[in-house]
Amino acid sequence: MSALAQLQQDPRVVVRREGLPDPQGKCVVYWMQRAQRGWDNPALDMAIKVANELQKPLAVFFGLHPKYPNSNWRHYAFLVAGIRETWEQVEKRGAAFVFRAYPQHDLIRFCAEVGAALVIGDENPMREPEGWRQSATRKLRVPFWTVDADVIVPSKFFPKEEYAARTLRPKLHKLLSAFFTPLENPNARHRWTDATRPASQPLDEQTVLSDLPLDRSTQPVSHYVGGTRAGQNVLRQFVQHGLRDYDTARNLPHLPGTSNLSAYLHFGQLGPHTIALAVRDAEAPQIAKDAFLEEMIVRRELAINFVARNPQYDKLAGCHEWARKTLAEHRADPRPYLYNEAELEQAETHDPLWNAAQLEMVVTGRMHGYLRMYWAKKILEWTPSPEEAFDIAVRLNDRYELDGRDPNGYTGVAWAIGGKHDRPWPPARPVFGMIRYMTAGGCARKFDVKSYIKRVEALAGRSAQLGTHPALFH
């Protein structure tokens, strides 16, 4: 077997367009999308190995598309903040980083321009990015491989939708030792000359953002900075100061007990290997490390499996039959309160805890994970139908969360409203049926609700003074 054929057999690789590399091709192209980093990136590693084997230089193409579904100024500001670092990291590894923003972002034109011999991409289970990869497969005239770069264990090992964490966990753990290892991070051996290097657009963050046709109704969050370096700083702080109490503090919203790494994972500015290995090797109680790795690997990859294998992942129709049935049986139950989407978005409910959770999301770009469950369940309780509740929760999550439009977000809504990956909880309750129920009183018994509300209100007050979040303060 040739060295190139061996690379093709890598379990992370999906061969989307077969064939031999174009013998007249001048370079290998890596189409970077989901894995927006120059280190601990299996897709970049594979592209470098292929380029080295073909004895050709590597071009890393980053085409900035402004129309990702449900995205807005907030999300793109975080994304663009990380591009320059990624550019520098890629160049240090011997490849050429090529940045092309809309309307010059087209992969097919770029591959024709540089004479691609073979194209590597990264995997993304979401509906629209998968559609872009299928389109590229049809239009390219050279081999096209994609690499599953943002999971620990490649998703191809789980070809069917898993029912719950308990069904995925043993399968994943059986394979974990083969993949939960440091990545190679090789360097490209065949460099570009100044005369042959493909041209890149200059990168001025403010100019790029101002020129893109974006939804500007949701402003960036100033305190949450994008990029690999910022993500590594957050990871370092968490490992040194937060990890030791993670098993208990993670479900206490009034404490800083979570990692705050979800946005960096969502944009691929940090990879799962970087985070999980740092936690595994940290000096912290094993119970805390195990709790984090369960969330980071099992629960996260369960969410990716859900999105990859269930085409209705963002609708109530994608949830278990038992859950849809019990919700249908209680569809006509009287609701104690009814709010429309605008009232919910403006945090205008009778419930101070729910309002604070909504405020936290709008102001900071994140909501504590425990409160995301409560937040979504109350939307179910306060809207006319479970389908409408599901759709509202998805829209608000996607608009305001920096890690919205992500498998974790869709799975969280599906769990809270549609019982996904959960079980029936009898006896049946009004509105919820046998969907797991949460109350403000239950939250108050679990954590210091008043302290949490006070902290969020202080954040919202500072934000209003700065005028950075008019959605809630006009």
Nearest CA-CA partner of 408 in 314, 304, 290: 304
pLDDT tens, position by position, 18-57: 999 999 999 999 999 999 999 999 999 999 999 999 999 9
Characterize the bridge pairing of strands 96-101 and 58-64: parallel
Question: What is residue 67's predicted lDDT score, i.e. its pLDDT?
Answer: 87
Handedness of CA 243, 246, 249, 255 (dihedral sign): positive
Tell me: do 55 and 134 sit in the same domain: yes
Task: Please identify, among 309, 336, 369, the residue that sits at the C-terminal boundary of a domain.
Answer: 309
pLDDT tens, position by position, 73-84: 999 999 999 999
* Amino acid in position 232: Q
Is residue 123 a contact partner of residue 147, using CB atoms and an 8 Å limit? yes
CATH for 100: 3.40.50.620
Band of residue 462 on the pLDDT scale cut at 50, 70, 90: low
Residue 471 scores a pLDDT above 90? no
Return mean pLDDT, the chain: 95
Secondary structure tally for the chain: helices H, strands E:
23, 6
Provide the β-strand partners of residue 116: 27
Task: Please identify, among 289, 309, 329, the residue that sits at the C-terminal boundary of a domain.
Answer: 309
Tell me: do 366 and 437 sit in the same domain: yes
Q: What is the 3-state secondary structure (H, E, C) of 218-247?
A: CCCCCCCCCCHHHHHHHHHHHHHHHHHHHH
- The pTM of this model reads 0.95
Question: What is residue 23's predicted lDDT score, i.e. its pLDDT?
Answer: 94
Question: What is residue 192's predicted lDDT score, i.e. its pLDDT?
Answer: 97
DSSP assignment of 117-163, as one string?
EEEEEE---SHHHHHHHHHHHHH-SS-EEEE--SSSS-GGG--S--S
DSSP assignment of 33-75, as one string?
SS---SSS-HHHHHHHHHHHHHT--EEEEEEE-S--TT--HHH
Tell me: do 248 and 335 sit in the same domain: no
Provide the β-strand partners of residue 58: 28
Question: What is residue 432's predicted lDDT score, i.e. its pLDDT?
Answer: 98
Q: Cα separation of 243 and 289, whole Å?
A: 7
* In-domain check, residue 414: yes
In the DSSP assignment, the letter for residue 82 is: T
Q: What are phi and psi of 109, to 5 degrees?
A: -65, -40
Note down the domain range covering 18.
3-150
Task: Please identify, among 150, 172, 206, the residue that sits at the C-terminal boundary of a domain.
Answer: 150
Per the structure, the count of domains in the chain is 3
Element spanning 29, H or E: strand 27-31
Residue 473 scores a pLDDT above 50? no
Tell me: do 158 and 121 sit in the same domain: no
Find the mean pLDDT for residues 406-418.
98
Tell me: do 97 and 238 sit in the same domain: no
Q: How many Cβ atoms sit within 10 Å of the Cβ of residue 284?
A: 19
pLDDT tens, position by position, 357-403: 999 999 999 999 999 999 999 999 999 999 999 999 999 999 999 99
Tell me: do 146 and 102 sit in the same domain: yes
Q: Cα separation of 474 and 471, whole Å?
A: 6
Question: What is residue 470's predicted lDDT score, i.e. its pLDDT?
Answer: 44
Find the mean pLDDT for residues 258-281.
98
Question: What is residue 65's predicted lDDT score, i.e. its pLDDT?
Answer: 92
Q: Cα separation of 228 and 208, whole Å?
A: 19
Tell me: do 339 and 439 sit in the same domain: yes
